Structure 1
Amino acid sequence: MKFKNTLEYARELDAEDKLSSYRDQFIFPQHEGENVIYFTGNSLGLQPKSAKKYVDEIMTDWANLAVEGHFYAEKPWWDYHERFSAKLAKVVGAKPAEVTVMNTLTVNLHLLMVSFYRPKGKRYKIICEEKAFPSDQYMISSQVRFHGYDPNEAIVEIKRREGENNFRTEDILAKIKEVGEQCALVLIGGVNYYTGQVLAMETITRAGHEIGAFVGWDLAHAAGNIELNLSEWNVDFAAWCSYKYMNSGPGNASGCFINEKYHNQKDIPRFEGWWGHSKERRFLMEPEFQPENGADAWQISNAPVLALAPYLASLEMFEEVGMPALIEKRNKIVAYLEFVLHEIDKEVDSTFEIITPANQEERGTQLSVFLHGEGRELFNYLMKNGVITDWREPNVIRLAPAPFYCSFEDMFHFGQILKKGILEKSK
């Protein structure tokens, strides 16, 4: 497609956009009476207007029914989490029984490692990517220490080649093969938070299984962003947060995937609690744990329904639109943003290096841009002029035009603001 960097053309693209009406279903922060240009859905998605209604339903039921709301609310609280399984399964490419919602992301990764990090003898190492999101680094290191190992010995990091911004699949596969029978677990971020690179999850999962390791994925930047087929790829487990591309609200609940081959096992290592006990027998108060069917067996406590309500509100939109339509717009709007950046780069005395892969198959919604010759001053200019973006050292801004609510006109206006900021700085 031959793009044009004009307002008229951007508006033509918006007029053709089948998802354009969903923009009005979100609440935007305001700048001088206008919607901001919002690029940080990869950090915190905008609030759906329907979220308040879903929360208010629970508040009303709590007021009118009190404890009876667990069973007699319009959406009873005791099985509230079950409303997520079928809808989330479509987002991550799973069977409904393989998906549940509970806790928060790092908590869930810790809990899942109880089941899937089982070091024994010479098989004790964990393969992860270098400079993983810090929370993952802390989590993996603490798990290794908990089991009595030295993180310097037990953690094997996959590294980028000198001078390159992204991981090469062949290097990941070579490292997995090299560690071989010493590897207990491969645990990597499916979409790199810094560069936005999408890793070859199916290929990497297969390689991990070939050496006898479990394979899990942190999908914080993947869920609701890229096409996932966790069941088909035979992934052992995965977890994701819901507040980025899935718009559930700050710090909200995490989704989990546990492959069905591990379901209904009483002897699998697992930290257990009341809500993972068989639903039919839960209120018999039996002393022996009877696992719930499917991924729900990993539940520990009853669902925090006030937190889940905004997530369900957003998930209803995902159900309505479907991931294929979101991905189609994502590809187009990211390509247009990339075009605008290159056009502005030609017009100013500056150099932008997009460190996100150019190959559409290796990226999702995010473009990470290295601002050579610029600094945080330019980021501050953007923020002061109604562009909400994200700064990462050294000198990188992350731009994530979420397809639910970002417009092509936003991309054009961003380019003009960026151009003006660079030119004013150079005066």
Structure 2
Amino acid sequence: MFGTVLIANRGEIALRVARTCKEMGIRTVAVYSAADEDSPVVRLADEAVRIGPPPAKRSYLYAPAILQAAHQTGAEAIHPGYGFLSEDADFAEMCQAEGLTFIGPPPEVLSMLGDKAEALRVLSAAGLPVLPGTHRPIASAGEAAEAAAQIGFPIIVKALSGGGGRGMAIAMRPSDLPEAYAQARNSARAVFGDERVYLERYVETARHVEVQVLAGRDGQVLHLGARDCSVQRRRQKLIEETPVPGLPADVADRLCEQTVEAARAVGYVGAGTFEFLLDDAGDFHCIEVNCRIQVEHPVTELITGVDLVREQLRVAATGSPGITQDDVRLNGAAIECRVNAEDPARGFLPTAGTIEALTLPAGPFTRVDEYVRPGMSIPPFYDPLLAKVSVWAPDREQAIARMERALGECVVSGPGISTTTAFLTRLLAHPLFRDGKHTTALAETVDPV
């Protein structure tokens, strides 16, 4: 096992990784920007290195500073968390060249699956169903119009290097396509530094279902069940749960088994998530692979008892997970809600400021992944996620009741700060969510205030 791991991230995921490392007796190094010098992970880690000013491009996305910090602190491995450099094939290759272990898939797998169009071609060849689309970059609005006529409307234009619900635009009819094409390209250029886009059939009333996998370099691949992430706003996930409500066990098992075979076929290594849309006809379509730990991984941990970060570290250090498929038991139901620093009354604009009052949920079978403290300033430079509230219960009905109770305890306030807590509570109370019949369209129909 590694002696020292550098955590190339911030916020709740950095703290989450540091805690598992501590439990495993691994020395930790935190890196931080000038905006995060008071972050709890800086205090928890055995050593902390400032890597740059607040803008992410000059700190958490600046690979040379991270690699230098790893060398000066004697780190043997780098855990990238999620976001930032977690799926960057070039960064993984840099780590390899510098003699550092990148805790994630190898560069060639990141490169293949990071190109979304190429990934869909490869996954289709591996036996997973995919939506009709170009599965190649589209170079002009005219080419987009020709391709869309073949695919059929509605169309979604997606960034080739996209992820996290960004770099996308929808065209419901041909007249919408020029604007959607331009919007997606501009967004892709701004967010990912790569303006290439491709086209895919858009499913309006879909369920968003994903399968968690864990794979070793030895060819062992296992799954840890499926999650439902259908409650989204502007394609950003808000509520995640497992198991998938209303999905028959045999269908879920078949989906997971197909995913395992596909992961093995593409040479996947580490923890990862294969994402699907479930349409009205009951058919699944793979849309992408997230080659990292997911924001929503706590719900899988709650129903399996498996520490996914620990398994990531084991795979990276030894080449093999510390568990087999026979060790995975799915028990009960779990739900996660993302508490973001956003103002629902102002179109969910991110908010920043200093936290004055803070009460986080507690109680039976309630887990909170967070990094906030009273008196802490929430900077405007990063993702607005403040905390993830997760609960477990023997069944979904009890889990919903437990989450409502937990959110009712949650208080985060201060000058300039608003959160999504009340909006999440309204989503939980919606009849479609209660009945497990919600789709990705639900959040857009609920009054934000």
Normalised by the length of structure 1, the TM-score is 0.28
Normalised by the length of structure 2, the TM-score is 0.27
Q: Which entry has the higher C-alpha Rg, 1 or 2?
A: 1
Which structure is richer in relative contact order (CA contacts within 8 A, separation 6 or more)?
A: 1
